[in-house]
Amino acid sequence: MNLPNRLTIARFFLTLGFVFLLSVDWPYSHTLALLLFIAGSATDYADGYIARRDGLVTDFGKLMDPLVDKIMITGAFICLVGRCIPAWAVVVIISREFLITGLRLLAASKGTVLPAEAIGKHKTGWQIATVIFFLLILAAREFHGLGLSREMLDRIQLEIGTPLIGVALGLTLYSGVGYLWKNRTLLKTE
């Protein structure tokens, strides 16, 4: 197994770690979850970059990289429901991810691999930025606000977090509809 594919698998295990840490009430668990999420996000960038640079693109990577991305993003958003992000926004994001995964599985059953597209990568980048922002807020609260009052952290969360959610949702919907439209022939019954 080449290095990019190993990084993809490592991201899966990092995801399990940060989801676990967001699910327990331990001292500094949010801070540790933030660090694991950042490490997972770095592997998302690195695996694709190395695969393209070194000519190591594989069908495994084309299929598993976006799938592990979806597991990482949906795991993070699910863990943030009720803490920072409204459930309806998470349902929209997860619905898009399942629909595109279903489309990829349908394509694979017909012998076609659908790689990630540029707009999907931008969408993932904004989703990652959104998750990191909210994890930073949670981590700051573990350190008594890093000198900021609870009210100030709440205001920062609202004034920056709300637009971040909006951008992530907009790109999620736009990229999902575009991907479905571009590959609509796969949806036609024979």
Q: What pLDDT sits at residue 13? A: 98
Q: Which structural domain range is residue 166 located in?
A: 3-187
pLDDT value at position 190?
52
What pLDDT digit, counting tens, does each position of 107-144 carry?
Answer: 888 888 787 788 988 998 999 999 999 999 999 999 98
The CATH number for 123's domain is: 1.20.120
- What is the model's pLDDT at position 62? 80
The pLDDT of residue 63: 79
At residue 66, the pLDDT reads: 81
Other beta carbons within 10 angstroms of residue 144's beta carbon come to 10
Q: What is the pLDDT of residue 189?
A: 63
| Count of domains forming the chain | 1
Residues of the chain with pLDDT under 50: none
